[in-house]
Amino acid sequence: MLHRPVCDLLGCTYPIVLAGMGGVARSELVGAVTEAGAFGFLGMVREPVAMICAEVQRLRERQVHRFGVNVIPAATEPALLDAQIATCIELGVPVVGLFWDLSAAVVQRLRNAGTVVVCQVGSVIEARAAEDAGAQVLIAQGVEAGGHVRGDRPLHDLVAEVAATAGVPVLAAGGIVDGADLATVLSLGAQGAVLGTALIATQEAFAHDYHKRRLVEAGVDDTILTDVFHINWPSGAKVRVLKNSVTRGERGDAYSGPRTVIGEEEGRPIHLFSTDSPLRSMTGDFEAMALYAGSGVGRVHAISGAAQRVREIIAEAEALLGSGAVAPAGAMDDLHESAANDDVLLPALNELLEAERAGARVALRTAKEVAESDLKPLVSAIHRDEARWCGVLTKAIHQLQGIPSKRMGAFYDKAMAITDISARLAFLNRGQSWVVRKLEALLPGIRDESIHADLTAMLSSHIQNINLVAARLPTAAKPSVEGRT
């Protein structure tokens, strides 16, 4: 019931993925989740190649052959990054996960070597760029996530938008700790869930017991997004951690004064305000270190075996999806939309979704072509809007117990066949006018207040964009009214 195409690509039974947590996710944890049918990344950010080799060997010794290695180009010295990537390729690591600033060159190098590339992203724009660079799986990371947080969007909004517009499988990350969370993100169009925090609170995680204990003691309001833990990372990068003396400002100013050593790991000093979190191999003042935690931490109540945690999540998600309490997407794409509770509205919303997905793609490609011109901000804003409406439509369809279409409107091919940018924008405006007419016809019959409000906002945004584009077009290219599907 939970199996999704992404499982075949990664090589796992269930669409549950252990996040590539630096320091924390080592072979012991990856091995444990793999044995329960999930997929795991070794968190190897800034680790020497000798450690990557040793950890890969340990996994292979316990017959784990499908696993990933996570590295972070923007937080790694170029020479070390180069050696890490070369090592992954030499060792035949099947999957590599990347995060933070996109390095298209690294993606291409890995793809050329036959490695499956997964990119974690924090926005729709980043998702599109990663897919264009060659990523085969995207992780949409919501602002609820523990550790470094790339974007500022709540997971459910972001994942619905990314899944509605991406051409590759999308996984959801951020605040996911149980089977209900997994069932929910599946229902929003994700093909699976990435878990960090919930899998730190396990016997096999390499985190120090202090960190694990603090996680299970934490309540729902105990995390904070902050940039005070900054040493080792690009400046301004935010992390979600448990509140502590550092986040309360009791340890001084993070950005001035000499560096203070507060711990050590095998001879390496651990500095106050660094991104290091307490590990088994460390000693020191753990309270003042980065105690990474996602906002789901208040629902993690025990330190358990990792395989047991994965099994509990699978059982709960299967029970929920089996009972029909949460409508699954993706796995049921081929089912007829007879589950729909509204014979007119659901097909219309799906038609709009396909059209908006096409509009979003057209705007994105066009924004690239006009990169050097003053049209770029306008076309990029249209792309953002169109992607947002894809998310809104996907949510509305789920709310009505329907199955969101995965198809791309034929409008995309028609629009992209037009090479002249003004003519293509005029065609895009005709499509936008078609959406306006559709919405005007639908709105009077919509009883659900929240869907009505969302579609009303969608209508006025389309009218506004039509006017903005029309004002920029030469008269000959101004649109007449035509259809868009």
Ligand X SMILES: Cc1cc2nc3c(=O)[nH]c(=O)nc-3n(C[C@H](O)[C@H](O)[C@H](O)COP(=O)(O)O)c2cc1C
Site string for ligand X, 281-300 (x = CB under 6 A): -----------x-x-x----
Q: Which of 10, 59, 88, 173 is close enough to bind ligand X by CB under 6 A?
A: 173
Beta carbon of residue 195, minimum distance to ligand X (angstroms, whole number)? 5
CB neighbour burial string for 216-249, b if at least 16 within 10 angstroms, e if fewer? eebeeebbbebebbbebbeeebbbbbbebebbee
Under the binding rule (CB under 6 A), the answer on residue 45 touching ligand X is yes
Please report how close the Cβ of residue 203 comes to ligand X at its closest, in angstroms.
16
Query: Can you tell me which residue has the tokens 């101004």?
Result: 478
Phi, psi (5° rounding) for residue 192?
Answer: 175, 180
The number of beta carbons lying within 10 Å of the beta carbon of residue 5 is: 14
* Interface stretch with ligand X, choices 7-15, 143-151, 299-307, 309-317 (CB under 6 A): 143-151
Select the residue interacting with ligand X from 76, 103, 141, 244 (CB under 6 A): 141
Q: Name the segment binding ligand X (CB under 6 A); options: 1-9, 193-201, 368-376, 474-482.
A: 193-201
Which residues, at least 6 apart from 224, have a Cβ–Cβ distance to it below 8 Å? 240, 241, 242, 243, 247
Does residue 479 come out as left (phi exceeding 0), alpha (psi in the -120 to 50 range) or beta?
beta
Contact 149, 175 (CB under 8 A): no
- Give the chain's count of helices (H) and strands (E): 16, 14
* 14, 39, 67, 99: which one binds ligand X (CB under 6 A): 99
For ligand X, which residue of 40, 179, 192, 196 counts as binding (CB under 6 A)?
Answer: 196
How many residues touch ligand X under the rule CB under 6 A: the total is: 31
Quick note: the x/- pattern for ligand X over 106-125, rule CB under 6 A, is --------------x-----
- Please report how close the Cβ of residue 45 comes to ligand X at its closest, in angstroms: 4
Cα–Cα distance, 173 to 312 (Å, whole number):
18
CA dist 310 and 198 (Å) reads: 10
User: What is the pattern of x (binds ligand X, CB under 6 A) and - over residues 374-413?
Assistant: ----------------------------------------
Closer by beta carbon to ligand X, 97 or else 479: 97
Angle between helices 376-399 and 345-369 (to 10 degrees): 160
Smaller CB separation from ligand X, 15 or 146: 146
What's the angle, vertex CA 315, arms to CA 309 and CA 321, rounded to 5? 135
- Name the one range near ligand X by CB under 6 A: 28-36, 191-199, 450-458, 462-470: 191-199
Residue ranges in 47-76 that form contacts with ligand X under rule CB under 6 A: 70, 72
Q: Using alpha carbons only, how large is the chain's radius of gyration in Å?
A: 23
User: 277, 350, 405, 461: which one contacts ligand X (CB under 6 A)?
Assistant: 277
User: Measured from the CB atom, is 198 or 360 closer to ligand X?
Assistant: 198
Is residue 313 within 8 Å of residue 192, measured between CB atoms?
Answer: no
Mark residues 12-31: x for contact with ligand X by CB under 6 A, - for none: -------xxxx-x-------
Task: Please count the other Cβ atoms lying within 10 Å of the Cβ belonging to residue 303.
Answer: 17
DSSP-assigned letter for residue 101:
S
Query: Which residues here bind ligand X, judged by CB under 6 A?
Result: 19-22, 24, 43, 45, 70, 72, 97, 99, 120, 141, 144-148, 173-176, 194-197, 200, 277, 292, 294, 296
